[in-house]
Amino acid sequence: MIDAHTQIYGILGRPVAHSLSPAMHNAAFRELGINAVYAAFPVTDLKEAVAGLRGLGIQGVSVTIPFKEEIIPLIDELDPQAARMGAVNTVVRREERLIGYNTDWLGALKALEEKVEIAGKRFLILGAGGAARAMVFAILEKGGQAAVTDLDTAKALALSREFWVEVVSPGRLEEYPAAVLINATPVGLAPEAEAIPLEPQLLDRFELVMDIVYRPLETRLLREAKTRGCRTIDGLQMLIHQGAAQFEMWTGQTAPVDVMARAAYRALGVEI
For residue 272, the model assigns a pLDDT of 81
* 199 in the same domain as 152: yes
Cα gap 126→270, rounded to integer Å = 27
Average pLDDT of 231-242?
Answer: 96
* 89 in the same domain as 169: no
For residue 15, the model assigns a pLDDT of 86
Cα gap 263→265, rounded to integer Å = 6
* 96 in the same domain as 126: no
Q: Is residue 24 in a domain?
A: yes
Average pLDDT of 136-140?
Answer: 96
Q: Helix, strand or coil for residue 93?
A: strand
**Could you tell me the pTM of the whole model?**
0.90
* 126 in the same domain as 50: no
* 184 in the same domain as 96: no
What residue numbers bound the domain in which 69 lies?
7-102+237-267
Q: Is residue 78 in a domain?
A: yes
* 63 in the same domain as 20: yes
Q: Is residue 1 in a domain?
A: no
* 70 in the same domain as 181: no
The one-character DSSP state at 198 is S
Average pLDDT of 168-188?
Answer: 94
Residue 75 in this model has a pLDDT that exceeds 80: yes
* 50 in the same domain as 13: yes
Average pLDDT of 114-141?
Answer: 95
* 214 in the same domain as 114: yes
Residue 18 in this model has a pLDDT that exceeds 90: no
Average pLDDT of 128-155?
Answer: 94
* 199 in the same domain as 112: yes
For residue 66, the model assigns a pLDDT of 87
Q: What is the set of active-site residues?
A: 68
* CATH value at residue 65: 3.40.50.10860
* 159 in the same domain as 94: no
Residue 1 in this model has a pLDDT that exceeds 80: no
CA 112 to chain centre: 13
Q: Is residue 2 in a domain?
A: no
Per the structure, the count of domains in the chain is 2
Query: Strands 90-94, 97-101: parallel, antiparallel or unpaired by DSSP?
Result: antiparallel
* CATH value at residue 221: 3.40.50.720
Which pLDDT tens digit goes with each residue over 214-236? Answer: 989 999 999 999 999 999 999 99
Q: Is residue 134 in a domain?
A: yes
Instruction: Give how far Cα 161 sits from Cα of 128, 148, 164, Å.
Output: 12, 11, 5
* 136 in the same domain as 213: yes
